[in-house]
């Protein structure tokens, strides 16, 4: 059975839906409350755990964000909260777990900080986080201060890449596993175009390429990544939408297909999903087309484990749209729409029921 988990902003809940794989019929099975805008969700790589980044600690305390950890019941798909802690900064926008499940990061725009947590064998943070502050300002009025928006581990577990929308940079940190800390790499950052606003990224081709979606100028930046020599180098910049629509558009999420052949970008304003084909030899991208998001303000897109089903969070029209995905990158919208208030992030999880 496949389950859909949806967080939102503003929202006080995570909604849980079952989705029948063949018909895509959906049924709401749970709504978990007492949350404060759980705007981003992620899964543990090996354990049945869902992590939620909450924008604030409570209705009265907006000076800190929170991370909540939920256990997923394999038989029902329902969530049970196991743990909650402060996130290491305020207005927490992103949470991610390392490929080996031993570390967790948060990005906190109103820190402005990144935080690194060590996880125990149960997937629970075990101690106070290591916190890395960002300083400076960017090129536009929107970038008067740093705005750490997301953080990602590479597959080797040697690096963390952090997008800062306010500084137009992807920061590069070396991970010290023993100390549970981050330190600036020998190449401490790479720059996207001034005023571009680096928001989220995707790692491709065994980390040979890093794709960065830029919120403020509707572009994608493609970087070559040499893990052995430890450097990033810009290879390409291209628009996420047709040129005439760029001023009214603000892309949000970037996603790589499981086979690495296609990159998907949500376009808020153009209300589309941009689909790009990656050249295997170089990682450079070519836009195939933009598919209608079947709603307004698409903020997030996720795939199921097979890469054949997608969920798009249309925040502006308060619904999640489902799509069938084809090997050539084509997206076919399903008739079903799932009503959720202010959806900002979703996860599709397929569970094997106990026999």
pLDDT the model gives residue 355: 38
Q: Decide the pairing of beta strands 298-303 and 309-314.
A: antiparallel
Q: How confident is the model at residue 281 (pLDDT cuts 50, 70, 90)?
A: confident
User: The tokens of 209 are what?
Assistant: 């390429």
What pLDDT, on a 0 to 100 scale, did the predictor assign at position 246? 64
Residue with token string 């759980």: 38
- Are the CB atoms for 193 and 168 separated by under 8 Å? yes
Task: Quote the pLDDT of residue 336.
Answer: 84
Q: What is the pLDDT of residue 228?
A: 72
| Those residues with Cβ within 8 angstroms of residue 96's Cβ, 6 or more apart along the chain or in another chain | 42, 104, 105, 150, 151, 152, 153
Is beta strand 219-226 parallel, antiparallel or unpaired with respect to 209-214? antiparallel
Digit-coded pLDDT (tens) for 213-222: 999 999 999 9
The residues facing 337 across adjacent strands are 321
Tell me the three state secondary structure of residue 206.
coil
Whether the predicted pLDDT of 229 surpasses 50: yes
Q: Locate 351 and state its tokens.
A: 């569970």
Residues sharing a CB contact under 8 Å with residue 213, sequence separation 6 or more, in sequence order: 198, 199, 200, 201, 219, 220, 240, 251, 252, 253, 254, 265
Integer Cα distance of 92 and 349 in angstroms? 23
Scan for tokens 């029921």, then name that residue. Answer: 353
- Confidence at residue 276, expressed as pLDDT on a 0 to 100 scale: 97
pLDDT at 21 (0 to 100)? 85
User: How far lies 250's CA from each of 7, 166, 290, in Å?
Assistant: 20, 15, 14
Q: Residue 52 has what pLDDT?
A: 98
Q: Give the pair of three-digit tokens for residue 67.
A: 């991370």
The rounded distance, in Å, linking the Cα atoms of 259 and 252 is: 22
Residue of 65, 45, 81 lying closest to 114 (CA atoms): 65
Radius of gyration from C-alpha coordinates of the chain: 19
Tens-digit pLDDT profile for residues 125-151: 988 999 999 999 999 999 999 999 999
The whole-angstrom separation of Cα 217 and Cα 315 is: 20
Compute the distance between CA of residue 57 and CA of residue 64 in angstroms, rounded to an integer: 6
Residues paired with residue 264 on neighbouring β-strands, in sequence order: 255, 275
Q: How is the chain split among helix, strand and coil, in percent rounded to 5?
A: 5, 55, 40
Computed over every residue of the chain, the mean pLDDT equals 95
Closest CA to 161 of 143, 182, 142: 182
DSSP 137-156: --SSGGGSS--EEEEEE-TT
pLDDT at 353: 61
134-292 has which fold?
Answer: Methylamine Dehydrogenase; Chain H (2.130.10)
Give the C-alpha separation, 309 to 331, whole Å: 9
- The bridge status of strand 198-204 relative to strand 181-191 is unpaired
Checking if the pLDDT of 51 tops 90, the result is yes
pLDDT digits (tens, 9 = 90+) for 8-30: 999 999 999 999 988 999 999 99
Model confidence at 346, in pLDDT bands (50, 70, 90)?
very high
């Amino acid at each position: 059975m496949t389950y859909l988990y949806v967080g939102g902003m503003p929202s006080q809940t995570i909604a849980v839906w079952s989705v029948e794989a063949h018909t895509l019929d959906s049924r709401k099975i749970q709504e978990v409350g007492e949350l404060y805008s759980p705007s981003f969700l992620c899964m543990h790589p090996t354990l049945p755990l869902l992590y939620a980044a909450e924008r604030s600690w409570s209705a009265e305390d907006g000076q800190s964000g929170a991370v909540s950890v939920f256990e997923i019941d394999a038989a029902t798909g329902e969530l049970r909260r196991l743990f909650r802690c402060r996130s290491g900064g305020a207005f927490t926008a992103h949470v991610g777990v390392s490929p080996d499940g031993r570390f967790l990061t948060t990005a906190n725009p109103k820190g402005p900080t990144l935080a690194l947590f060590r996880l125990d064998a149960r997937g629970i943070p075990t101690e106070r986080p290591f916190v890395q502050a960002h300083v400076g300002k960017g090129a536009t009025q929107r970038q008067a201060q740093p705005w750490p928006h997301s953080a990602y581990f590479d597959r080797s577990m040697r690096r963390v890449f952090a997008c800062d929308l306010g500084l137009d940079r992807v920061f590069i940190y070396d991970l010290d596993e023993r100390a549970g800390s981050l330190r600036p790499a020998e190449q401490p950052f790479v720059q996207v175009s001034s005023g571009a606003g680096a928001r989220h990224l995707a790692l491709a081709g065994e980390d040979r390429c890093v794709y960065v979606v830029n919120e403020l100028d509707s572009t994608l930046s493609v970087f070559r990544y040499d893990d052995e020599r430890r450097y990033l180098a810009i290879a390409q910049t291209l628009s996420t939408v047709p040129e005439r629509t760029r001023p009214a558009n603000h892309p949000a999420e970037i996603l790589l297909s499981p086979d690495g052949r296609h990159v998907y970008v949500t376009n808020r304003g153009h209300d589309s999903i941009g689909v790009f084909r990656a050249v295997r030899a170089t990682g450079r991208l070519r836009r195939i087309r933009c598919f209608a998001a079947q709603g307004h303000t698409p903020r997030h897109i996720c795939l199921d484990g097979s890469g054949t089903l997608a969920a798009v969070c249309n925040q502006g029209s308060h619904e999640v749209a489902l799509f069938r995905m084809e090997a050539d990158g084509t997206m076919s919208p399903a008739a079903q729409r799932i009503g959720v208030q202010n959806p900002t992030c979703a996860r599709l999880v397929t569970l094997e029921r106990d026999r």
